[in-house]
Structure formats: structure tokens, C-alpha cells
Amino acid sequence: MPVIIPLTDPTSRDAVIASPVKEFAQAYILDLTVNTHTASGNDYVSITYCPFDQESGERLIEDKRNVTVPFWQTIESVPEAAVVFTAVADALPVLIAHQKQAEDDAIAAAEAIAAAEELASAEALAAEELAAAEALAAETPEP
């Protein structure tokens, strides 16, 4: 699901030979850092973003921008920020469970592969032993 972020100040890219001027009216988030280590007024949210064209999917990474705001004051004064971080907090248990399930699935797959390899090895050994027994029986004269 794409998240489109309108820019209040769109960016234009200079025309390239045989290309018209292009306007980038959306933002693309490159990095999002939430630092609440101190649980104080020093905590912050920092977002690095670049202009983005939704139609072409093109990003102007060379025009990176950053916004850094105090975390707790922003949560209190910007309702949209409070909604977003409440949603992140609500999603955290689901993300933890999802990661745990992925790890459990990877372990189960590795165990299944190891069991299959062990079975194949045991079958190969049994086939070798059978072949050796048949060879020995073929060499032994009948009384």
C-alpha cells in the first residue's frame, strides 16, 4: 500500500536534454528515527525525505531533506503525530509476533531440511549395505 505524502513546497527538476521540466509534488521517506532514550524533552523524531513523483515512481535522492522535532512536545501538539505513534505502538505486538513466527518458520524449515538430509543419508547407507550383502552372497558358493 503506497503512502503518498503531499509536499507544501513542491520541487522542480531542471530540464534534461530531451526531457521537460518535471515537478515532484510528493515526499518519499528515506529514514525515520524516533529517539526516546531519555524520556525527556531531549527526545526527538527525525525524518529524512526526498521529493517524489508518484506517477513515475522517481525520487530525487540528491535533494534529501530533513525535519527533526521534539518527540513529546510534537505528540502533544500535533494530533496527526499522536495518531501515527499510537498506531505504531498498537502495531508493535503484532510486529513482534510476526517476527517470532518468521524465526520459528525458519527454524522449522532448517530442521526439516536436516531431517530430510539425515533420512537420505540413512537410505544411502542402507542401500550400500544391501549392495555389499548381495555382492557377498553372489561370491559365496552354494553348498
Q: Give the tens place of pLDDT for each residue, 70-87.
A: 999 999 999 999 999 999
Residue 133, pLDDT score: 79
- CB 50, CB 30: distance < 8 Å: yes
Phi, psi of 41 (to 5 degrees): -65, -10
Q: Is 89's pLDDT higher than 70?
A: yes
- CB 11, CB 63: distance < 8 Å: yes
Of 33-47, 100-114, 127-141, the least confident: 127-141
Confidence of residue 143 (pLDDT cuts 50, 70, 90): low
Contacts of 30 (CB under 8 A, 6+ apart): 48, 49, 50, 61, 64
- CB 26, CB 6: distance < 8 Å: yes
